[in-house]
Structure 1
Amino acid sequence: MTLVAQLADPLAFAIVAGGTTLGVVLRTPLRDLGRALSALRILARRRFVADPLLDQIAAQARIARGHGAMALDRSVIADPDVAAAIATIVDGASGEEVTTLLAHRRRARIERHVAAADIWAGAAELAPAMGMVGTLIGLARMFATMTDPAAIGGAMAIALLATLYGALLANLVFLPIANRLRVAGRAEAFERARLDPPLVALADRERPLALKTAA
């Protein structure tokens, strides 16, 4: 019998994984739970870099210089933060208003990253506790079958492996996910801060022209 087969116990794993999942679902709003699951896609992506967006902003500035800020209204911009900033610039927003908008959107994005990471960190807290629950269930089952030597081994396996599964899930799955989400969130926030100066400069340059046009 291989080591993997010796350490495999479906019931112990079901107690730990099922109990952890139930605990997370009960303590987390459904919308935040969905965000925590969708945040896993971040782990498969490359680290966010602002350079392509900076190039796109520079291109938008050239368009505005040649054709006016209203020409930017026809631009297709995939990034929601840059798109929102360009839309306010088209509407004649000042540099200060663009700064406020970008800061608000950046804080909201950070909050979403933190909320997702906290959910996975919460799962890391629950898993060892569910492992202890599995251990108690296994011990109770063992004491209930003391007259049947053949059943004692299975009950003891549940008791020991549940604790093992809880520790492994917490430290090798849930905590690494939470930490990587926090790192990715901080890196993206830092990179997105680089978008502010060129967008603010574009707004300050185009606003006087927009006011003159309106007058």
Structure 2
Amino acid sequence: MDILTLVGLVAGVLIVVLAMLANASVLTFLNLPGLAIVLGGTFAVTLIKFRLSSVMSAFRLAFSAAFKEQVARPTELIREVGELAMVVRKEGILGLEDHETTNGFLQKAINLCVDGHPPELVEEALNQETRQTAERYEVSERVFRGIGESAPAIGMLGTLVGLVQMLNTLDDPSSIGPAMAIALLTTLYGAFIAQLIALPLADKLQLKAEDEARNQLLITTSIRNIMRGENPRVMTELLSSFVTPEQRTGLAPEREA
């Protein structure tokens, strides 16, 4: 569970809501027609920009990637592939047959190696998987950035609708203040959705995509070196470029093994 994403989202929403309710009630900021305009309009624009399957996939990926710490740490992967290299050095490539890992990409790489495919085919299959994963993340990120762009614009559209309705009732000055407040609520709804939900999730998806791409490149590089019979110590030294200088000290035992 990526607790920081959940904490940030809840904290942001809570701070804004508490500020809104400091000198007013919930009903002051509740306008169902305006909310319907923003939610319905944003959803409609999103469907115009993207296919429904892409939108549904984006929401599934957002909640599975943004709220779950499913990306392995590079140091853990380097240690694991270092152990795999030691096994192959002692028992051959078939020694990996009984190895199980929680990383799906690494497990696919192991299965391809054990099945006896040539190194070129294994590397091409892994690169193809990396490209497809990056594409899924990119589409999901674009969906949420599209929502972040559309929601404020639709909110402004709702404000214009409210202002037109207000101008039609200028014969009653007492209604101008409440009507103006209702008109501005749609802009508030649009900014709320964009700045506190859609755009932060898009940035989180971009970050997770970069982490996933780095880990998959690390695994692909490792498998290529293992199939070439590279020395485990040398391989670990080469893979240390995927981590920070501070994290490399934790890999010292593997380099000395």
TM-score (norm 1): 0.79
Cα displacement string for residues 47-102 of structure 1 (whole angstroms, at most 9, x for unaligned residues): 64133333333444444455543453444333221122112111222333222222
Larger deviation, residues 39-48 vs 186-195: 39-48
Cα displacement string for residues 88-134 of structure 1 (whole angstroms, at most 9, x for unaligned residues): 11122233322222221111111111111111100011012111221
Structure with the greater relative contact order (CA < 8 A, sep ≥ 6): 1 or 2? 1
What pairs up with 1:7-86 in 2 under 5 angstroms? 8-11=29-32, 12-38=34-60, 39-46=62-69, 48-86=72-110
> Residue type of the partner of 1:83?
Q
Aligned residues: 206
Alpha-carbon distance between aligned partners in 2 of 1:125 and 1:201, rounded to the nearest angstrom: 44
Runs of 4+ residues over 6 Å off in structure 1: none
Residue 36 of structure 1: CA displacement? 1.5
Cα displacement string for residues 166-191 of structure 1 (whole angstroms, at most 9, x for unaligned residues): 23332333222212211221132123
> Residue type of the partner of 2:189?
Y
> Residue type of the partner of 1:15?
I
Alpha-carbon distance between aligned partners in 1 of 2:219 and 2:174, rounded to the nearest angstrom: 67
Q: Say if 2:155 and 2:189, in contact at 8 Å, map to a contact too.
A: yes
Partner of 1:123: 147
User: Structure 1 residues 63 and 166, CA, compared in 2 at 3 Å: closer, same or farther?
Assistant: same
User: Structure 1 residues 58 and 2, CA, compared in 2 at 3 Å: closer, same or farther?
Assistant: closer
User: Structure 1 residues 140 and 103, CA, compared in 2 at 3 Å: closer, same or farther?
Assistant: same
Residue 201 of structure 1: CA displacement? 2.4
Partner of 2:163: 139
Alpha-carbon distance between aligned partners in 1 of 2:47 and 2:25, rounded to the nearest angstrom: 30
User: Structure 1 residues 48 and 24, CA, compared in 2 at 3 Å: closer, same or farther?
Assistant: farther
Residue 138 of structure 1: CA displacement? 0.7
Q: Say if 1:50 and 1:195, in contact at 8 Å, map to a contact too.
A: no
Match of 2:114 among 75, 87, 90: 90
TM-score (norm 2): 0.68
Match of 1:5 among 25, 37, 55: 25
Unaligned runs of 5+ in 2: 1-20, 230-257
Alpha-carbon distance between aligned partners in 2 of 1:198 and 1:179, rounded to the nearest angstrom: 29
User: Helix, strand or coil for the counterpart of 1:92?
Assistant: coil
Between the two proteins, what is the percent identity of the paired residues?
A: 31
Q: Say if 1:13 and 1:162, in contact at 8 Å, map to a contact too.
A: yes
